Structure 1
Amino acid sequence: MHLKEKLHKGQVLQNVKFHDISAEGMGIGRTSDNIVVFAESVVPGDIANVKIVKIKGSYVIAQSVEIIQASPYRTQPFCRHFGYCGGCKWQHLSYDAQLSFKKKFIHDALTRIGNLNIPDIQEPLKSPQITEYRNKLEFAFSNNRWIEPELFSKENKTQLPALGFHISGHYDKVLDIQQCHLQNDISNQIRNFIREYAVQNNIPFFDIKNRTGILRTLIIRNTSLNQWMVILGVYEIDDRVFLLLDAVYRQFPFIHSLLYAHLFSLNDSIHNGKIYLHKGNDYIVEQLGHLRFKISATSFFQTNSLQTYHLYNKVKELAQLTQKEHVYDLYCGTGTIGLFLAHQAAKVTGIEYLPAAIEDAKENARLNNIQNIEFFSGNIENILTDQFVNAQGKPDVVIADPPRAGMHKNVLHQIRKIAPKRIIYVSCSPPSQARDISFLSDMYEVKHIQPVDMFPHTTHIENIVLLSKIQET
């Protein structure tokens, strides 16, 4: 019998035993009559009653109603917004358990998707901080606050403004955030001050559906050197914007970079707007080891600075450089990995598709007086040609840190032709990493696998794989 013939939406399934967790963070369990259940808010080891939300062909998606028996992995979430915000889906799972399941994700990806023979996976590198670890948060303004169901009543149906995060899957719904534990508490102070000032001075929050209002987004960045950047995104510009910015600077005079962005397009990304400096510098500075990096409003930088240092050190260790090697840094972004390795290499060649990122990379090379590195901008699959390799010289070592989709097939073909001695593949997506490594597996052997936890309390994991060229016999 088809599941839809025996079950219905809203039905409560009793005493479901959960034994695993999906890469998206949902608990996986089975009922007593062997129906597969994916459910939010449960962890492996829980026994729970769950309410069906959707019925698929061979399984159901459900929401926890009651925990009958709590798993030993379960812990108390520390954020009052847990369950609604969606930013830290694993707060209810102990940190050691999070790392264990992330390691399992990597193993499953490499062996099942990649069909690879692999050595033992190293224990994931724990994040030095598991709260307040982010150096960047992006918030949205809305004139219509989303209210948690348990707080919803006829009395509070009045339209209220919000400054916080979009509800997962609902672009037009924003949850007002009073305290976020992902960034230093100064971020909360700045955000809450801006909300209160705007409400008191009748500065309209953005109406997402009707596309009216002034205040649209807020980005707050900070560095380990305690430098702060605040970027206020506005749909319209008038005198009230400047009065608000002046008030922010008076309240928080330590802000190094105070900017505003005119966001007039459909997309609210600051990359699509025009950015103006209001006070201070148009950048902040981060330090990793002996290097300093300028970070502008649109610069990409890993969002967990302390753990980034450990990640780069691991890449440096695996690269085994002796100041004689030529290194290709593919998908180099703002050049941070290549710059971090440059003093141990003879030459570094970085390639990145975003021109703005390459300009940041060149500026950071000048800032650190690094002269044995050269950067090229454009689609990597178009740049990394035979002519390019002949002109620049073949690499001994290739570092690749591609986006989630992985490496373009043309890039993989060119890597096979170049045949470097070692490849260090850094990835935020174990499935695409496994697929790409599988394509190289007849030429390269997986020698070392090191997960690095950049995002505690989420399902995301960074993974470093060292590939060594198989010696011809």
Structure 2
Amino acid sequence: MSRKRKALPLYENVGIEAVAAEGKCVAHVDDKVVFVPFVVPGDVVDVQVTKKRHKYCEARVVKFVKKSPMRIEPRCSHFGICGGCKWQNLPYSEQLKAKQQQVHDQLTRIGKVELPEFHPILGSVKQWEYRNKLEFGCADKRWYTAEELHSLPEGAGLNEPAIGFHITGAFDKIYPIEKCWLMDDLQNRVRNDIFNYAVDSGMTFYDTRSQHGLLRNLMLRNSNSGEWMLLIQFHYDEPGDDERAKALLDHVAATFPEITSLIYVDNQKGNDTVGDLDLITYKGTDFIYEIMEDLKFKVGPKSFYQTNTEQAYHLYCVARSFALDGYDKSSADETNRNDSPTDETNRNDTADKASADLPLIYDLYTGTGTIANFVARHARKVVGIEYVPEAIEDAKVNSRINGIDNTVFYAGDMKDILSDEFIRSNGRPDIIITDPPRAGMHPDVVRVILNAAPRRIVYVSCNPATQARDLALLDADYYVAQVQPVDMFPHTPHVENVVQLIRRK
């Protein structure tokens, strides 16, 4: 006989104290730490505990006793439901304070290395409509809030289709989105029009459980060159689906001439990833261009590009500044005298005599080569490495269309490609720029970086926690000289951070 689970407690008149990690806020009840989402410091609330641990618990608000004077009205009608934004009820200035503190706390508590005074966080140029990419799922069953379920007429069916965002814990249901404020409003008009057309024409929506249904996923991208891309994922499983899909594509092309790249795919896989699928261009080109300073970057449907275009420019300016400002090649020569004869031979073979005083730069996790091409004109050579082969091809194209001939790119797993032999073959780097995924760098990558002994390392991170771990691994040979947090995603708890490391003498 199973033991009856004890009911979780309800805490009343709980004062919310401060912003915590993952977009939640923190309070204390007796000796228990309580994390609560969608509140702001100064709120007084009654909360229902949803998860209880030995030293902390998680809870949700059941009643606002008193609302904080800090609180502002969220702009979005979907706030608190779709899961995208956590902080629309918190003034942007307070969001920036919380992110600055988050970076400081993680580098201090996890890294435990000596740190300089941090530069103030760079706030986003745009607080709304800042994203250049959004994806929307399509499903034959929508997700309802408790209030919506309560208001449904008796006997009403629950199998209404939807286009919108996945809800955590309901993988087969989509919460319908009418208006998202994070991207130019054209994406709202395109999404809502496709939904209306699909319903009116009797088009089937995808059922994740049974893996049937035609309309599966939408991905929209736009760029600062004024171009728009739409990728529609279909799932053909009935006679005539091909014609129905092309009828929708014709409708979209006629209704939205702003879309310069209209692409589709028949995805028969169990997930929505398209990296291994052949995409078909229905109208226009299979790419759009982003512009940064005097450079053009080709962005395809599989390409990675920073999601906040304007703020990406400021992020890359910080990375370039940390890499090059005050860099004295003559002071690096003292280090380079310790190179092996093979290293020195490679250095001389690859260096143009006219640019001998410029640094050799490695750009790790280069993506489509944005940072590599951004710094190339200040370098003797830039060597880029990236896991995704398609991204490397884009990186080469981006160098070619910008007339940059001092970059080389390699595709493969970083821990396998970046070896001591690779360093001997390509030359010992003066500067390494690394922009790893959220998991940070593999220990083998850190080891090779330490063996390569560059003069400087510029570490760009989307996860200061794993960045702090890696800084601790580098600390014996490198000290942290500068720290610059950058906000790329207003109204979310995510923050980028750039660290400059200098080799100890």
TM-score category (smaller protein): over 0.9
Q: CA deviation at 1:70?
A: 2.5
Distance 2:249 2:491 in 1: 33
Aligned partner of 1:142 in structure 2 is 139
Contact 2:142 2:158 in 1 (8 A): no
Aligned partner of 2:32 in structure 1 is 35
Aligned partner of 2:441 in structure 1 is 407
Of the structure 1 ranges 36-45 and 173-182, higher mean CA displacement relative to structure 2 is found in 36-45
Letter in 1 for 2:435: D
Give matches, 1:245-264, under 5 Å. 245-264=249-268
Distance 1:412 1:255 in 2: 43
**Residue 275 (structure 2) aligned to one of 271, 284, 306:** 271
Distance 2:69 2:448 in 1: 49
Find out whether 1:128 has 2:125 as its counterpart: yes
Cα deviation, 1:266-298, whole Å, max 9, x if unaligned, reads 111122433111111011111011110111110
Q: CA deviation at 1:235?
A: 1.1
Question: Which blocks of at least 5 consecutive residues in structure 1 are unaligned?
Answer: none
Aligned partner of 1:46 in structure 2 is 43
Q: CA deviation at 1:335?
A: 0.6
Aligned partner of 1:433 in structure 2 is 467
Give matches, 1:359-438, under 5 Å. 359-438=393-472
Find out whether 1:59 has 2:56 as its counterpart: yes
- Runs of 4+ displaced beyond 4 Å: none
Contact 1:263 1:272 in 2 (8 A): no
Aligned partner of 2:212 in structure 1 is 212
**When the two structures are superposed, what TM-score results if normalisation uses the length of structure 1?**
0.96
Q: CA deviation at 1:398?
A: 0.4
Distance 2:449 2:74 in 1: 45
Q: CA deviation at 1:263?
A: 1.1
Larger Rg: 2
Aligned partner of 2:22 in structure 1 is 24
Aligned partner of 1:291 in structure 2 is 295
- SS of the equivalent of 1:151 reads helix
Residue-pair matches, total: 465
Aligned partner of 1:118 in structure 2 is 115
Contact 1:365 1:373 in 2 (8 A): yes
Letter in 2 for 1:285: Y
Of the structure 1 ranges 18-27 and 241-250, higher mean CA displacement relative to structure 2 is found in 18-27
Contact 1:265 1:273 in 2 (8 A): no
Cα deviation, 1:18-47, whole Å, max 9, x if unaligned, reads 22233211111112x333211122122222
**When the two structures are superposed, what TM-score results if normalisation uses the length of structure 2?**
0.90
Give matches, 1:315-334, under 5 Å. 315-320=319-324, 324-334=358-368
Q: CA deviation at 1:158?
A: 4.0
Contact 1:264 1:273 in 2 (8 A): no
- SS of the equivalent of 1:271 reads coil
Distance 2:272 2:34 in 1: 36
Q: CA deviation at 1:233?
A: 0.5
Aligned partner of 1:310 in structure 2 is 314
Contact 1:134 1:183 in 2 (8 A): yes
Q: CA deviation at 1:339?
A: 0.3
Letter in 1 for 2:73: Q
Distance 1:124 1:70 in 2: 28
Cα deviation, 1:200-219, whole Å, max 9, x if unaligned, reads 00010111111110000000
Aligned partner of 2:284 in structure 1 is 280
Aligned partner of 1:73 in structure 2 is 70
Aligned partner of 1:468 in structure 2 is 502
Aligned partner of 1:201 in structure 2 is 201
Question: Which blocks of at least 5 consecutive residues in structure 2 are unaligned?
Answer: 328-354
Aligned partner of 1:192 in structure 2 is 192
Aligned partner of 2:485 in structure 1 is 451
- SS of the equivalent of 1:53 reads strand
Aligned partner of 1:351 in structure 2 is 385
> What is the alpha-carbon root mean square deviation over aligned residues?
1.5
Aligned partner of 1:163 in structure 2 is 163
Structure 1 pair 378–225 and aligned structure 2 pair: CA distance change class (3 A): same
